[in-house]
Amino acid sequence: MAFPRPKPTTMETLAMERANPPFNIRKMSIAMHGSEKALILKEKFMAEIARHPAFKLSDIHDLSKDELRERTMEKFASMVYFVTNESLETFQLRMQLIGIADPSFWTRFGVAYGLFLGALRSGATPNQLSYWTDRGVLGLNGVIGCFAMTELAHGSNVAGLETTATFDRGSDEFVIHTPHLGATKWWIGGAASTATHAAVFAQMIADGKRHGVKTFVTQLRDTKTFTLMPGVTIGDIGKKMGRDGIDNGYIQFTYVRVPRAHMLMKHTQVSRDGVVTEPPLAQLTYGALLGGRTSMVTDSSNSAKKALTVAVRYAAVRRQFATGKNELETQLLDYPIHQRRLMPLVAQAIAIGFTGLRLQVMYEDMTQALDTMEPSDPNLNDILDKLKETHATSAGLKAFCTWACLDTIDKCRQSCGGHGYSAYSNFPLMYADFAVQCTWEGDNTILSLQAGRSLVGAWGAAVKGKKLAPGVAYLNDSSLISAKSDSSLSLSDIQRAWNCVASNVIKKAAEEYVRLLKSGKSKDEAMEKCSQSRFIAAKIHTIGYIFRLFKEAVEEMKDDEESRTLKTVAKLYGLWQIEEQQGYFLKYGYLDAQQMDKVQESVDALCQEVRGVAIPLIDSFALSDHIINSPLGRWDGSVYESYFAQVQAANPLPKEHPYFTRLIKPLLERQDEDMEDPGSAMGLDDELKEIEEERKGE
Contact string (CB under 8 A) for its own copies, positions 342-381, x = contact:
----------------------------------------
Point out which residues pair with 185 in neighbouring strands. Answer: 151, 251
- Distance of closest approach, residue 383 Cβ to its own copies, in angstroms: 26
Please, which residue, 212 or 235, has the CB nearer to its own copies? 235
Q: Segment 263-292, which members bind its own copies (CB under 8 A)? A: none
CA distances from 540 to 385, 476, 543, 545 (A): 21, 17, 5, 9
Instruction: For residues 528 and 550, give the distance between their C-alpha atoms in angstroms, rounded to a whole number.
Output: 33
- Distance of closest approach, residue 44 Cβ to its own copies, in angstroms: 6
Q: What are phi and psi of 192, to 5 degrees?
A: -60, -40
- Distance of closest approach, residue 21 Cβ to its own copies, in angstroms: 23
In the chain, the N- to C-terminal Cα span, in Å, equals 66
- 523 HSE (CA, 13 A, CB side): 3
Among 149, 387, 203, smallest CA distance to 288 is for: 387
Residues contacting residue 431 through CB under 8 Å, at least 6 positions apart = 242, 406, 409, 410, 413
Among 18, 61, 266, 598, contact with its own copies (rule: CB under 8 A): 61
Among 16, 22, 37, 478, contact with its own copies (rule: CB under 8 A): 37
Please, which residue, 82 or 131, has the CB nearer to its own copies? 82
Is 139 one of the binding residues for its own copies (CB under 8 A)? yes
Instruction: For residues 384 and 392, give the distance between their C-alpha atoms in angstroms, rounded to a whole number.
Output: 12
**Which of 93-101, 139-147, 282-290, 488-496 is the region at the interface with its own copies (rule: CB under 8 A)?**
139-147
- Distance of closest approach, residue 198 Cβ to its own copies, in angstroms: 15
Contact string (CB under 8 A) for its own copies, positions 574-613, x = contact:
-------xxx-xxxxx---x--xx--x--xx---------
Is 439 one of the binding residues for its own copies (CB under 8 A)? yes
Instruction: For residues 294 and 112, give the distance between their C-alpha atoms in angstroms, rounded to a whole number.
Output: 19
Q: Segment 625-644, which members bind its own copies (CB under 8 A)? A: 640-641, 643-644
Please, which residue, 387 or 639, has the CB nearer to its own copies? 639
Bond into 678 cis (ω within 30):
no
Instruction: For residues 269 and 274, give the distance between their C-alpha atoms in angstroms, rounded to a whole number.
Output: 9
Instruction: For residues 73 and 50, give the distance between their C-alpha atoms in angstroms, rounded to a whole number.
Output: 17
- Distance of closest approach, residue 193 Cβ to its own copies, in angstroms: 7
- The answer to whether residue 441 is catalytic is yes
Is 193 one of the binding residues for its own copies (CB under 8 A)? yes
Is 436 one of the binding residues for its own copies (CB under 8 A)? yes
**CA torsion 531→536→539→544, rounded to 10°?**
-140
Please, which residue, 435 or 461, has the CB nearer to its own copies? 435
Determine the length of the chain.
Answer: 698
Among 575, 573, 529, smallest CA distance to 553 is for: 573
- Distance of closest approach, residue 437 Cβ to its own copies, in angstroms: 10
Residues contacting residue 54 through CB under 8 Å, at least 6 positions apart = 71, 74, 75, 78
Burial (CB count within 10 angstroms: exposed 0-12, middle 13-18, buried 19+), residue 302: buried
Alpha helices in 4-116 (DSSP H): 10-18, 25-33, 36-51, 65-85, 88-101, 103-110
Q: Segment 511-550, which members bind its own copies (CB under 8 A)? A: 522, 524-525, 528-529, 531-533, 535
Among 22, 212, 259, 666, contact with its own copies (rule: CB under 8 A): 666
Which of 441, 552, 555, 561 is an active site residue? 441
- Distance of closest approach, residue 440 Cβ to its own copies, in angstroms: 7
Among 413, 496, 541, 551, contact with its own copies (rule: CB under 8 A): 413
227 annotated as a binding-site residue = no
**Which of 354-362, 375-383, 430-438, 610-618 is the region at the interface with its own copies (rule: CB under 8 A)?**
430-438
Contact 151, 185 (CB under 8 A): yes
Is 164 one of the binding residues for its own copies (CB under 8 A)? yes
Contact 347, 565 (CB under 8 A): no
372 annotated as a binding-site residue = no
Q: How many residues bind its own copies (CB under 8 A)?
A: 163
Is 337 one of the binding residues for its own copies (CB under 8 A)? yes
> Catalytic residue positions?
441
> Annotated binding site, which residues?
150, 189
